[in-house]
Structure 1
Amino acid sequence: MKKLSLFILMTILSFSAIGQVIEITPSYGFQFGAKLGYGPNYLKMEDSSQFGITLGVETYTGLMAEVTYVNMSSGLRIRDVIFSPSESKLADLNLDWFLVGATRYFKQGKVKPFAGAGVGFVVVSPSNENNTIIDNSLDSTTRFAFNFKTGVNIMITDVIGLNLQGNLYFPVNWAGVYVGSGGAGISTGSTVILGGFSAGLVFRIDKD
């Protein structure tokens, strides 16, 4: 965690050194869940809220280099003909996303539509496991991830604006999990898409 914090700090300082315009965008939104099927059974991540913050630095006119942190607090549910014939909660699920990317503005002025993308990793941390289904803890995992976004910034003043955007997150093999005991169980995982939307404020700082 110390190395991760140092990496984020160094990224922020590097971005700050190469650009004259800085944008800070805290946001809050809604994230749709996803389902992974295996045979007639499935694992399902529930819909959830999400919050995040993005630091962007203008490298060229209309092009922002960015570092983003997003948190999602959700739940993991299971339906399995052996372990849980009816859908039941398996565990709470926390996802921490760390992404580095870029955003392109298509228009300058008060209304600024944009699109962007990023790459990085997601830390998936289960907790509060349902002991009636499993008798062991699920391990936290770190997975490669990437994202896409599109939306608009509506500037109220030269410094403060409203951010509205749609989000797509791609965690690679996000739900790899082993369920069972006594040497028997199921294991599944794949790449899924998590879609949602968010809103927030954008603070634009010109260092000149």
Structure 2
Amino acid sequence: MRKLFLATLLVVFFGSAIAQNIELTPIFGYTIAGKVDNYGRYLDVKDDALYGGLLSVQIDELSYFELSYERNDTKGSTRLKEIDLAVEHYQAGALKEFSQGMVVPFAKITLGTSRYVQKSGGDERVWYFSTGIGAGAKVFLSERVGIRLFTNLMMPLEFDGAGFWCGIGGGCSGGISFNVPVMHWDMGAGLIIRLEN
């Protein structure tokens, strides 16, 4: 999955020659996490600091394509023990700005994958398809430097089942169901470095 993420990053970066602006943003913040308590499983993910980075490529006046990586090294409690845990989110999505100027509010939606890695007492690694929604504001101190304030809700999705059926009257339908085993509410800030084309 890391290779796919890096390949996408390179395609976006080299294809950005036609883009209006590129923003590189290292981020730091805090994650408030939940717990998994279903299907006989229990894991309480502790709140902790997060870090990562964003690559935002402008595609029109107020819209950006964005790649993001977030990680927090935390602890998780099972019913029997406490473990060291790393949580990573690899996401790609769209960011929409609502104005131009020194203060720029925005909203975003992303899709990608989340990985949970047990770092002590075992070597279990679990990947989930995930999605995220977020909002915040960019505060520009100059043409090329700014501060990004953000909040995101990251939702790993666990596949429950799928179905397809047809009725006697000729109509057909189908569906896929997911559940969200644990949610992560991220808050933080980053330093925007804008590369203008």
TM-score range, shorter chain: 0.7 to 0.9
Equivalent in the alignment of 2:34: 34
Equivalent in the alignment of 2:164: none
Matched, 1:162 2:162: no
Equivalent in the alignment of 1:180: none
Equivalent in the alignment of 1:171: 156
Equivalent in the alignment of 2:124: 139
Secondary structure of 1:172 counterpart: strand
**Alignment coverage as a number of residue pairs:** 177
The 2-side partners of 1:62 and 1:201 are apart by 19
Instruction: Report deviation, 1:143.
Output: 1.2
> Any conservation in 2 of the 1:167–1:198 contact (CA below 8 Å)?
no
Mapping for residues 18-33 of structure 1, pairs under 5 Å: 18-33=18-33
Pair 1:11–1:30, CA change in 2 (3 A): same
Pair 1:201–1:141, CA change in 2 (3 A): same
Secondary structure of 1:102 counterpart: strand
Equivalent in the alignment of 2:175: none
The one of 118, 131, 135 equivalent to 1:126 is 118
The 2-side partners of 1:4 and 1:148 are apart by 19
The one of 80, 94, 99 equivalent to 2:86 is 94
Equivalent in the alignment of 2:176: none
Instruction: Report deviation, 1:7.
Output: 3.5
Structure 1: give runs of 5+ residues left out of the alignment: 130-136, 175-188
Pair 1:206–1:8, CA change in 2 (3 A): closer
> Any conservation in 2 of the 1:12–1:67 contact (CA below 8 Å)?
no
Mapping for residues 47-196 of structure 1, pairs under 5 Å: 47-79=47-79, 84=80, 88-89=81-82, 91-129=83-121, 137-173=122-158, 190-196=180-186
The 1-side partners of 2:87 and 2:33 are apart by 12
Equivalent in the alignment of 2:162: none
TM-score (norm 2): 0.81
Pair 1:155–1:167, CA change in 2 (3 A): same
The one-letter amino acid paired with 1:13 is F
TM-score (norm 1): 0.77
Pair 1:40–1:95, CA change in 2 (3 A): closer
Q: Deviations over 1:95-125 (max 9, x none)?
A: 2211110111101000100000110111211
Alignment root-mean-square deviation, CA: 2.2
Q: Which stretch shows the higher mean deviation, 3-12 or 33-42?
A: 33-42
> Any conservation in 2 of the 1:173–1:192 contact (CA below 8 Å)?
no
Matched, 1:202 2:178: no
The 2-side partners of 1:68 and 1:166 are apart by 13
Equivalent in the alignment of 1:133: none
The 2-side partners of 1:3 and 1:162 are apart by 29
Secondary structure of 2:78 counterpart: strand
